Amino acid sequence: MKYFKRIRAGIDPGPFLDEIAALGDAWAMVTGRQDKIAVQREALAIPLRGLRRSQIHGRKRSDVHESRWTSASAQFPHARAFLEETAAALGCDLSRGKIVCLPAGRRVYPHIDRGRYYRLRGRYHLVLKSAAGSWLKAADEEVRMGEGELWWFDNDQMHEAFNDGDQDRIHMIFDLLPHERRAEAEAETAAAIARMAAVQTAAVA
């Protein structure tokens, strides 16, 4: 397979699911993803890491490289530790991340994650709950991911997901920036800052 790779198996989903259950209606905390992104409208999400708004510098959100922990992430210490440990083990910088629920019969519609942020990073899925296995498709390849498995997949390709089971499907989805691409991301941010400074200078001249 070119577009999918299983990284690990046998990860215990229990502690992750316990953190979600401890919050009651955790999925209602933030609804921006399903409200604003049409292809994600049937999925629910708990953001753990998001873009750093102070570092936008006139760029599209999909071009912003800098990220930070959300305030809600403090209630997910096990998830946070897993993300940090996985990034370090794979030689990467941790970027954005979220826990996503796709209810039974719902789908994520076909799309490509566009923008410089995505081009430099790898996309990972940790399957926390999926009784029937999680069906995903990227380009012409299809997989069924099992509970406790960590997968990389190529979100530069047209991709989609469908929950064909009768229970919620819960994944932790996150992005990692390989250390060898860190300088490239930093250079793009520096260029954005320089452009904004030039615009501001011209405005007062």
Domains of the chain, by residue range, sit at: 4-204
Which residues lie across from 144 on neighbouring strands? 135
pLDDT tier at 38, thresholds 50, 70, 90: confident
Total residue count of the chain as it appears in this document: 205
- CATH top class, domain 4-204: mainly beta
Instruction: Encode burial over 6-34: b for 16+ CB neighbours within 10 A, e otherwise.
Output: ebeeebebeebeebbeeeeebbebbeebb
Contact present, 100 and 171 (Cβ < 8 Å) = yes
Give residue-wise pLDDT tens across range 105-145.
Answer: 999 999 999 999 999 999 999 999 999 999 999 999 999 99
Amino acid at 40: Q
**What pLDDT, on a 0 to 100 scale, did the predictor assign at position 198?**
83
The yes-or-no verdict on residue 35 having pLDDT over 60 is: no
State the DSSP code for 13.
Answer: -
Query: Which of the four pLDDT bands, split at 50, 70 and 90, describes residue 30?
Result: low
In the 8-state DSSP scheme, what is residue 55? G
Question: What is this structure's pTM?
Answer: 0.92
Give residue 36's pLDDT.
57
Q: What letter would DSSP give residue 165? A: S
Residue 174 exposure: Cα atoms within 13 Å on the Cβ side:
28
Give residue for tokens 């991911």.
Answer: 145
Q: How far apart are CA 163 and CA 8, in angstroms?
A: 22
How far is it, in rounded angstroms, from Cα 186 to Cα 195? 14
Number of alpha carbons in the 13 Å side-chain half-sphere of residue 187? 6
8 Å CB contact between 67 and 52: yes
**Helices and strands, number each (H, E), in the chain:** 5, 11
pLDDT above 90 (res 19): yes
DSSP secondary structure string for all residues of 24-54: SSGGGS--HHHHH-GGGTT-EEEEEEEE-GG
